[in-house]
């Protein structure tokens, strides 16, 4: 399931500033633990940002995105009260969706 995301969406004119803070380990698969065993890769592969259920940005990520990823983007044609939802899917098939209303 993953931990909840923090999503903030603020309006300036007709453009919504969307800032997302996800919680994920984002293991690259390059690191080793104390005994020298490789820690398997575990990272978010796909992120979708939607406005009122309609996808605006779909992203594909590699393992190089930092732990607890931060993402900021802008959505046109938004108005107060619109729903912004963010969905991620990681390489283990785990997924999480969170939603917020534009203030």
77/81 with CB nearer another protein? 77
* Site for another protein, rule CB under 8 A: 15, 28, 30-32, 45-46, 51, 54-67, 69-77, 89-93
32/35 with CB nearer another protein? 32
d(CA 101, CA 84): 6
Would you say 52 and 92 are in contact if contact means Cβ atoms under 8 Å apart? no
d(CA 41, CA 21): 20
Q: How far apart are the first and last CA of the chain?
A: 27
Beta carbon of residue 61, minimum distance to another protein (angstroms, whole number): 5
74/101 with CB nearer another protein? 74
Beta carbon of residue 4, minimum distance to another protein (angstroms, whole number): 19
Beta carbon of residue 103, minimum distance to another protein (angstroms, whole number): 18
Residue 77, C-beta contacts closer than 8 angstroms, at least 6 positions apart: 14, 51
């Amino acid at each position: 399931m993953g931990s909840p995301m923090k999503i903030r969406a603020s309006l300036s004119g007709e453009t919504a500033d969307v800032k997302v803070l996800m919680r994920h380990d984002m293991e690259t698969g390059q690191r080793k633990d104390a005994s020298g065993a490789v820690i398997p890769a575990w990272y978010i592969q796909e992120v979708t940002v939607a406005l009122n259920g309609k996808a605006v940005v779909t992203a594909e990520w590699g393992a190089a995105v930092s732990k607890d990823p931060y993402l900021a983007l802008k959505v046109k044609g938004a108005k107060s009260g619109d729903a912004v939802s963010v969905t991620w899917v990681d390489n283990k098939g785990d997924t999480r969706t969170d939603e917020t209303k534009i203030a």
